[in-house]
Amino acid sequence: MFAWSLAIRNLRRRRLRTALTASGIVVGISMMFILLSLVSGMEAQTRSMIRALGGADITVSNSTSFRGGMGGGGPFGALPSPSTLDASIAEVISGIPGVYAVSPQFSFSGSISGRRITIYGIEPASYEIVTGGLNIVEGRFLAENSNGEIIVGNALMEFLNLTLGQTVSLSAGQGGKERTFNIIGVFETGMVFQEYAAYITLADAQDITGEYGVVTQILVKCEDPSIVSDVASLILSTVPGVRVTTPTAVIQQASQTLNTLTMFFATIGLVALFAGSFGVVNTMIMSVTERTREIGVLKAIGAKNHQIMKVFLAESLLIGLIGGGVGVAAGGILAYLFPMLTSGLFSVGASPFGMRNAGLSGRAISNIRLATPAITPTNIAICFSLGALVGILAGLYPAWRASRMKPVEALRHV
């Protein structure tokens, strides 16, 4: 339709005005984009921290403490083997309202190549549902039939000089067997202490320790993160002799803060955008007034009201699209530069467990940095369409005014 060519020509004829008007939107959109990217980045960080902390909403374990003595020495000594629960408790817990899924786990202190570490026996499928799975960096995750297969932490791999596909001997210490396992995958958490561990199937774990029908933890995922504490107390009152931990409580606090931040940032962005939209309204009213005679001519030669409206809506939509496009691009560049500008400001300080530092391996500490913006397609789409939306909304009134002009009066306009 000619509406588009008219709109494009007109914007081109007034390049400076178009640029200035669009820049009002650019400011709002780029701001919005940076803020959304920051929030997305924080969300991603939070997610990976949740994963690093074990992922489950609730961990149910025996209320009596560890059995047996402390595990082997060394800087990264394994945890002592915890007391067990009857495996059937998992069934009971899965029947509790609010529980989405449960995954039994048998962790024990075992040794690989003489090195004592924590071994987790898991049910791969339910483990992935409940915790989101492990961050596999090489190879693959366990499957239901992964008998004799093992996933080893990256730090341990490096420490013991192991390679993927290698066979290692795993023993469960006193009372247990010794069996060989094939390394089929390597996981990474970004936290060294968590990587001195290995995962095998629950069946293998029970077999190697000789403790059939029992588990050490039951990992629980709730239907909604907001009901975690309610479900936890429900578990406590329903199942005797257990203790619950909600390792993600802190993270949930963080994600609530994140939501508040999102709202806050979005509001700032919207206010900026709102201000920018007045520029568009102003420009469009100017454009309509300037072209009153043109509107009269178009009407005289037979343009209908909606066709006139289309001409001006096309124009303001184009301004919005330009503003949205440039805004996303500018915001993207700024979001990309952001970590360099704020380097160190938001990074997590030293932790008692010692974050992996750049010297230890190639992976930088930025792994755990909080404010690394994430540029996601969703954010691009949101910001771009927001620009278009502002363009259309800002153009509605001027376009309507143009369409309502009386042809005779419009033609008289000088």
Which positions touch another protein (CB under 8 A)?
A: 1-2, 5-6, 9-10, 12-13, 293-294, 296-305, 307, 406-408, 411
Enumerate helices (H) and strands (E) in the chain, giving the number of each: 13, 12
Q: Which is nearer to another protein, 16 or 350 (CB)?
A: 16
Q: Which is nearer to another protein, 312 or 338 (CB)?
A: 312
Q: Is 414 exposed, middle or buried (0-12, 13-18, 19+ CB in 10 A)?
A: exposed
Question: DSSP character for 362?
Answer: S
Alpha-carbon distance of 369 to 346, in angstroms, equals: 6
State the minimum distance, in angstroms, from the CB of residue 138 to another protein. 57
Helix or strand (DSSP H, E) at 179: strand 178-187
Q: Which is nearer to another protein, 140 or 406 (CB)?
A: 406
State the minimum distance, in angstroms, from the CB of residue 399 to another protein. 16
Q: Which is nearer to another protein, 13 or 161 (CB)?
A: 13
Nearest-5° angle of CA 182, CA 213, CA 65?
95
* Maximal CA-CA distance, the chain: 103
Sign of the Cα pseudo-torsion (25, 30, 33, 34, in order): negative
State the minimum distance, in angstroms, from the CB of residue 402 to another protein. 14
Q: Which is nearer to another protein, 79 or 411 (CB)?
A: 411
State the minimum distance, in angstroms, from the CB of residue 137 to another protein. 55
Helices (H), 154-201: 154-160, 192-195
Please state the separation of Cα 371 from the chain's center in Å: 13
Q: Which is nearer to another protein, 10 or 262 (CB)?
A: 10
Helices (H), 291-406: 292-300, 305-341, 377-403
State the minimum distance, in angstroms, from the CB of residue 387 to another protein. 24
Which of 374, 378, 354, 356 is CA-nearest to residue 365?
356
Q: Which is nearer to another protein, 216 or 287 (CB)?
A: 287
State the minimum distance, in angstroms, from the CB of residue 1 to another protein. 6
Helix or strand (DSSP H, E) at 221: strand 217-222
State the minimum distance, in angstroms, from the CB of residue 38 to another protein. 42
Q: Is 241 exposed, middle or buried (0-12, 13-18, 19+ CB in 10 A)?
A: exposed
State the minimum distance, in angstroms, from the CB of residue 407 to another protein. 5
Q: Which is nearer to another protein, 6 or 156 (CB)?
A: 6
State the minimum distance, in angstroms, from the CB of residue 4 to another protein. 11
Please state the separation of Cα 203 from the chain's center in Å: 33
Q: Which is nearer to another protein, 5 or 267 (CB)?
A: 5
| Residue for token pair 């309502």 | 404
Q: Which is nearer to another protein, 9 or 177 (CB)?
A: 9
Would you put residue 85 in left (φ > 0), alpha (ψ -120 to 50) or beta? beta
Packed helices 377-403 and 249-290: angle between N→C axes, nearest 10 degrees: 30
Which of 115, 86, 84, 90 is CA-nearest to residue 102?
90
Q: Which SS3 state, helix, strand or coil, does residue 264 take?
A: helix
State the minimum distance, in angstroms, from the CB of residue 21 to another protein. 17
Q: Which is nearer to another protein, 170 or 314 (CB)?
A: 314
Alpha-carbon distance of 101 to 131, in angstroms, equals: 10
Contact 353, 191 (CB under 8 A): yes
State the minimum distance, in angstroms, from the CB of residue 412 to another protein. 9
